[in-house]
Amino acid sequence: MRRLKLIQVLVILTCLAIIVRLFYWQFLAGIEKRTLQSFAEDEIPAPRGDILASDNFPLATNQEAYLIFATPKNLKDNPRDISRKLAPILITDKPATGSAFGLEGFYNSTVKGKPGKQNSSVDPQGVPIMTGKFSALSPKKGSTLITSIDRTIQFIAELKIKEAVEKYGAKDGTVIISDPKNGHVLAMATYPNYNPAFFGLYDQKLYKNLAVADNYEPGSTFKLVTMSAAMDLNLVTPQTKCDVCTGPRKVGGYEISTWNNKYYPDSTMTEVIEHSDNVGMTFVAGKLGVDKFVNYINKFGFGKKTGIDLEEETTGSIHDKRDWREIDLATGSFGQGLTVTPIQIVQAVQAIANGGQMFPPRLVQSVVDGGKTDSVKPPAAVQIISPQSATQMTEMMVNAVDHGEAQFFKPKGYRIAGKTGTAQIPVAGHYDPNKTIASFVGFAPAQNPKFVMLVRFTEPTASTFGAETAAPTFFAIAKELFNYYGISPSE
């Protein structure tokens, strides 16, 4: 009996001893954990936000990516053979387009999201041990951008510009279509272009968005700015007659002539625009003077960024007014001797289409963050010219389309306001007569415009003139847009 009790006591004491020792090892010993487990601090990457069209169709979204790795000692094949096979997939010296260019570049801080964190002890298999120091912070997905891009219009623009570049043998072509009532870009296309999903397969020169990053001399499309300025200041009216339009004109030691060497004495300002008369424009510029002309150039947004939400926008180049000579005033009046970007031309013509009010162009109309949608408020519109001047310019542009050199390509029954442009390209200090930038800018329907559009070709070879390349392309796209918007002929 005594022995039994002794055994009982011993068992109890042993159990107590084990408990106390376990307690000591678990909570009091504070031994550094080495080989059996380790502490892991992992950053959990956040998924980037999507970019959607105006109808919420995805334009850019995330996709699965793979991490390829190998343990050298486990490789059975020749390492050279393996590296040769893997190199095309793994190695590229091209920079990623993701966060550097365009819309993603501009909104990178919005779409990139916030990475999460997980701190935990892990066992040798990497499984977290939740009794240790375990804490987790979930990653926050980036915001989603809803753009103003209309998928149908974008598709039409891409299809037509590709067809036209191939047809006219141009180096490249650009088309921008926007809504003049709010500045939202409905479509923007350039050809040749590249597939952003496989950017490494293309020449880096194609990464540049010509619509916002290419400086060029606009040529006759800039006459709209010169004439708008003079009419807004009441220096000329649509009926004012040009008294120097009898022949070539000498300005500052240079001779200014028309594009086709045809001259129309006593032509009105309306006819000057209709004939795209360079001599007539020097008459208008002479009325303006450098100060007023440069002021209006700046008012129309040239020489500075439009602020469109794309990363690589450039400003074009307008000389300081102190550097303008007499010849610069003359050539500037018809769009030579200064450089602009295509988006700046669209912005300026938007003002004419919108009763003189200019909205800066924009691509993103709202941002979705965690289920909440916030509209992107654009800057307020600025009155550049009076509504009366805008109306007068519109009628002059309609007249130019109806009776100018592009009249043969115009769709019947529609009032379209537009202007052709054929600008010679400066090469090594002089203008090359065989290389031009051919363009056409306009809006329709003229009385209540649904869209403003610019079509531009660099060095078309089939014809160097805007009236024979850019204008037909403009009208072909316009016909599609009339169909899409259900706009009936009005004439």
Partner 1 sequence: MLPVSDFKYIATKSNLNINKPLTSLGYLPEWQSLGKVKIKLLLTLGAVLFCLFGTQLVFASNLSTGGEKLVSIEKEIQDQETENLKLKTQIAQSSSLSTLFNKAQSWGFEKPQKVISN
Q: Which residues would be at the binding site for partner 1 (CB under 8 A)? A: 5, 8-9, 12, 15-16, 19, 22, 57-58, 61-64, 120, 122-123, 127-131, 134, 151-152, 155, 159, 479, 482-483, 486-489
How many CB atoms within 10 Å of residue 84?
A: 10
The pair of structure tokens assigned to 482 is: 């009339």
CB of 376 to partner 1, least distance (A): 23
CB of 488 to partner 1, least distance (A): 4
What are φ and ψ of residue 62, in 5° steps? Answer: -80, 155
Nearer to partner 1, 45 or 247 (CB): 45
Name residue 427's beta-bridge partners: 430
CB of 161 to partner 1, least distance (A): 14
The pair of structure tokens assigned to 137 is: 């912070």
The pair of structure tokens assigned to 418 is: 């537009």
For residues 176 and 212, what is the distance between their CA atoms, to the nearest angstrom? Answer: 10
Nearer to partner 1, 68 or 91 (CB): 68
For residues 273 and 259, what is the distance between their CA atoms, to the nearest angstrom? Answer: 13
CA angle (219 as vertex; 216, 222 as ends), nearest 5: 100
For residues 186 and 93, what is the distance between their CA atoms, to the nearest angstrom? Answer: 34
CB of 127 to partner 1, least distance (A): 5
CB of 33 to partner 1, least distance (A): 14
CB of 411 to partner 1, least distance (A): 8
Nearer to partner 1, 29 or 428 (CB): 29
Task: Name which of 402, 442, 446, 388 is nearest 270 in CA terms.
Answer: 402
Nearer to partner 1, 66 or 91 (CB): 66
DSSP for 89-137? HH---SPPSTTTSHHHHHTHHHHS-B-EEEEEEE-TT-PEETTSS-EEE
CB of 484 to partner 1, least distance (A): 10
CB of 312 to partner 1, least distance (A): 25
Nearer to partner 1, 134 or 254 (CB): 134
For residues 340 and 338, what is the distance between their CA atoms, to the nearest angstrom? Answer: 7
Q: Where would I find the beta strands (DSSP E) of 317-450?
A: 357-358, 364-369, 372-375, 382-383, 417-427, 430-444
Nearer to partner 1, 299 or 410 (CB): 410
Helices 223-232 and 387-403, interaxial angle, to 10°?
140
CB of 371 to partner 1, least distance (A): 17
Tell the burial category of 430 from Cβ atoms under 10 Å away from its Cβ (0-12, 13-18, 19+).
exposed
CB of 129 to partner 1, least distance (A): 5
3-state secondary structure of 321: helix
Nearer to partner 1, 38 or 383 (CB): 38
Nearer to partner 1, 120 or 394 (CB): 120
Say if residue 124 is preceded by a cis peptide, omega within 30 of 0.
Answer: no
Nearer to partner 1, 165 or 340 (CB): 165
Nearer to partner 1, 123 or 243 (CB): 123
